[in-house]
């Protein structure tokens, strides 16, 4: 079968799946019904729409129940969640933080906001996540241990943390990454923004590092409009994150005492109300997304990425692997012209002018994947 024929039948499959003969089929749209409306209206009726209210606590409880993490702290969005996670693990100005170049710009931005700099390590083709071998090679060749810290020899800067990302919901090889980080005294913070509902060897993503961070932006697996969440098993990290997210106010019935310079990153109750309703649907969303992924994989003549062995992906966004950048561009043209929304991966961070001067390893797999992967419509069907 020629590419054109395979693509045509894929477009037909997508229109049939979403039962939409014409008009735009988005990459990923949220799905709401009466349940969300009821809780949001309840929130408005109660007047507790802002930073105080029961839905925040309830949503945090649902996330700990679902992931198995001991603690959860709701915040305004995933980007600031990453920023806060890096703050509580002790990131300081002038530190270095290892991450992948194949990520959304929020990951390095959260590092930069601390006046620290990202170091980009290559990813694996199978998982799209940070490559443990590249990480190990970089740390072994370029760092030494000094007073229990990992120091980059050439720049004399401390490598404080490593932030792998579970790309498109496919879990990275997080146990191997954790082992390497432990050996080099580097904190592990997981960018799990895309991976709510994804498991590595039966354990939820975000639970391997000191802190994991989810996003509930409008295009993610579940949404609160805007929102994010930290998870951790460390009670002190959780307490500090919550404290810093709420202006570090010392609890008192009426006095305004604050014991360190801090932020206002609290998730408003009205957003959490959406989250509570969405969490009840998460298992059904995951089942439907898995079935769609299987259907995509059965399309003949196309290579569609599958979950790595020993993992369970949430299949946030399904991904087609093209043979070349030229073919990728042709597919993007072809599908978008038919109002079927498809998108390439992000331009790798080491290619952006703002991050081009950062330290990095060889980027063979990052460049290879960035030139070939296209995301295709993956949202759940919804008549709202």
Give the Cα separation of 227 and 245 in Å (integer): 13
CA dihedral 356, 326, 378, 310 (to 10 degrees): -70
The answer to whether 104 contacts ligand PLP (rule: CB under 6 A) is yes
Instruction: Tell me whether residue 328 is exposed, middle or buried, using C-beta atoms within 10 angstroms of its C-beta: 0 to 12, 13 to 18, 19 or more.
Output: buried
Smallest distance from the beta carbon of 150 to ligand PLP, in angstroms? 24
The answer to whether 311 contacts ligand PLP (rule: CB under 6 A) is no
Smallest distance from the beta carbon of 75 to ligand PLP, in angstroms? 9
Q: By beta-carbon distance, which residue lies closest to ligand PLP? A: 78
H or E element at residue 136: helix 132-142
Give the Cα separation of 19 and 322 in Å (integer): 26
Q: Interface mask (CB under 6 A) for ligand PLP, residues 79-98, using x and -? A: x-------------------
- Minimum CB distance to ligand PLP smaller for 57 or for 109: 109
Smallest distance from the beta carbon of 179 to ligand PLP, in angstroms? 23
Detail the DSSP E strand segments found in the chain: 71-75, 96-100, 117-121, 143-146, 149-152, 157-163, 187-191, 199-200, 203-204, 211-215, 228-232, 303-304, 311-312, 318-321, 343-344, 373-376
Site for ligand PLP in 8-67 (CB under 6 A): none
Q: Output DSSP code: residue 163.
A: E
- Minimum CB distance to ligand PLP smaller for 10 or for 187: 187
Smallest distance from the beta carbon of 376 to ligand PLP, in angstroms? 17
Q: Which residues are catalytic?
A: 220
Note whether 344 and 102 are within 8 A (CB): no
Give the Cα separation of 348 and 124 in Å (integer): 14
The answer to whether 101 contacts ligand PLP (rule: CB under 6 A) is no
Instruction: Tell me whether residue 261 is exposed, middle or buried, using C-beta atoms within 10 angstroms of its C-beta: 0 to 12, 13 to 18, 19 or more.
Output: exposed
- Minimum CB distance to ligand PLP smaller for 31 or for 150: 31
Site for ligand PLP in 176-195 (CB under 6 A): 191, 193-194
Distance of CA 213 to the CA centre of its chain: 7
List, in order, residues 6 or more apart from 338 with CB less than 8 Å away: 11
Q: Binding residue for ligand PLP (CB under 6 A) from 7, 14, 40, 78?
A: 78
Site for ligand PLP in 192-231 (CB under 6 A): 193-194, 215, 217, 228
The answer to whether 379 contacts ligand PLP (rule: CB under 6 A) is no
- Minimum CB distance to ligand PLP smaller for 104 or for 199: 104
End-to-end Cα, the chain, rounded Å:
38
Q: Binding residue for ligand PLP (CB under 6 A) from 62, 103, 232, 366?
A: 103
Nearest-CA neighbor of 65 among 172, 238, 175, 196? 196
- Minimum CB distance to ligand PLP smaller for 18 or for 104: 104
Smallest distance from the beta carbon of 308 to ligand PLP, in angstroms? 17
Distance of CA 379 to the CA centre of its chain: 16
Nearest-CA neighbor of 241 among 102, 75, 356? 75
Q: At which residue do the structure tokens 């969303």 appear?
A: 285
- Minimum CB distance to ligand PLP smaller for 106 or for 241: 106
Smallest distance from the beta carbon of 82 to ligand PLP, in angstroms? 6
List 211's β-bridge partners, or say none: 189
Note whether 100 and 121 are within 8 A (CB): yes
Smallest distance from the beta carbon of 296 to ligand PLP, in angstroms? 20
* Range in contact with ligand PLP (rule: CB under 6 A) among 29-37, 56-64, 75-83, 150-158: 75-83
- Minimum CB distance to ligand PLP smaller for 107 or for 365: 107
Q: Binding residue for ligand PLP (CB under 6 A) from 62, 107, 314, 335?
A: 107
The answer to whether 165 contacts ligand PLP (rule: CB under 6 A) is yes
Q: Which stretches of the chain bind ligand PLP, using CB under 6 A?
A: 77-79, 103-104, 106-107, 165, 191, 193-194, 215, 217, 228
């Amino acid at each position: 079968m020629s590419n054109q024929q395979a693509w045509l039948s894929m477009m037909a499959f997508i229109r049939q799946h979403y039962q939409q003969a014409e008009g735009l089929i988005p990459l990923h749209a949220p799905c709401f019904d009466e349940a969300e409306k009821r809780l949001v209206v309840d929130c408005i009726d109660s007047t507790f729409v802002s930073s105080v209210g029961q839905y925040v606590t309830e949503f945090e409880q649902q996330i700990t129940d679902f992931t198995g993490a001991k603690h959860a702290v709701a915040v305004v969005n995933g980007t600031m969640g990453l920023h806060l996670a890096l703050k509580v693990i002790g990131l300081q100005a002038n530190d270095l933080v290892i991450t992948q170049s194949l990520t959304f710009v929020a990951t390095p931005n959260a590092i930069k906001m601390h006046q620290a700099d990202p170091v980009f390590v290559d990813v694996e083709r199978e998982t799209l996540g940070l490559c443990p071998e590249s990480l190990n090679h970089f740390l072994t060749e370029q760092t030494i241990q000094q007073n229990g810290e990992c120091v980059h020899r050439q720049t004399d800067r401390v490598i404080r943390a490593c932030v792998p990302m579970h790309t498109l919901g496919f879990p990275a090889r997080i146990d191997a990454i954790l082992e390497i980080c432990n050996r080099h005294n580097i904190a592990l913070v997981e960018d799990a923004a895309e991976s709510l509902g994804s498991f590595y060897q039966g354990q939820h993503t975000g639970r391997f590092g000191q802190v994991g961070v989810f996003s509930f932006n409008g295009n993610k697996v579940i949404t609160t409009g805007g929102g994010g969440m930290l998870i951790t098993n460390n009670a002190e990290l959780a307490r500090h994150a919550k404290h810093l997210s709420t202006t570090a106010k010392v609890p008192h019935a009426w006095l305004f005492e604050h014991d360190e310079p801090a932020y206002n990153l609290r998730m408003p109750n009205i957003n959490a109300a959406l989250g509570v309703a969405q969490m009840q649907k998460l298992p059904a969303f995951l089942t439907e997304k898995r079935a769609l992924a299987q259907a995509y994989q059965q399309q003949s003549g196309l290579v569609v990425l599958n979950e790595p062995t020993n993992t369970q992906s949430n299949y946030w966004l399904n991904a087609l692997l093209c043979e070349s950048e030229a073919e990728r561009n042709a597919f993007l043209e072809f599908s978008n012209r038919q109002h079927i929304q498809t998108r390439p991966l992000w331009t790798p961070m080491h290619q952006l002018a703002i991050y081009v001067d950062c330290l990095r390893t060889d980027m063979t797999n990052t460049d290879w994947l960035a030139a070939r992967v296209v995301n295709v419509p993956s949202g759940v069907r919804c008549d709202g």
